[in-house]
Amino acid sequence: DAGVTQSPTHLIKTRGQQVTLRCSPKSGHDTVSWYQQALGQGPQFIFQYYEEEERQRGNFPDRFSGHQFPNYSSELNVNALLLGDSALYLCASSWGFDEQYFGPGTRLTVT
């Protein structure tokens, strides 16, 4: 049984560009959450998707947007990239409010 998968593994972008990160949830899970983990910090909640709708959002600007597809996979989009967006982006999946299982993350570097 595949766990949570994320792509790409690493990404380098330039300031002002846009990026799309992808996540496939663990089999049987219907909820996807995204977190940003800056270097030396704990993960910070970005938003959560369930039934293709954003259900809860953390303290992140509108430059961060997402989508959930009918197969429960999800995308995270970040527009107008800033240097401060450099971080490890983690996707987590769950069955409803059960414990969240995390993917390996996407390392985004903005230069």
99 binds other proteins (CB under 8 A): yes
Q: Is 93 in the site for other proteins (CB under 8 A)?
A: no
Q: Does 25 bind other proteins (CB under 8 A)?
A: no
Choices 13-21, 28-36, 62-70, 77-85; region in contact with other proteins by CB under 8 A: 28-36
Q: Which is nearer to other proteins, 45 or 67 (CB)?
A: 45
User: Do the Cβ atoms of 22 and 6 come closer than 8 Å?
Assistant: yes
Q: Which residues have a Cβ under 8 Å from the Cβ of 7 and sit 6 or more positions away?
A: 21, 22, 106
How far is it, in rounded angstroms, from Cα 6 to Cα 58? 21
Residues 49-68, one symbol each (x = binds other proteins by CB under 8 A, - = not), give -x----xx-x----------
Residue 19 in contact with other proteins, rule: CB under 8 A: no
CA distance linking residue 20 with residue 11, whole number of Å: 10
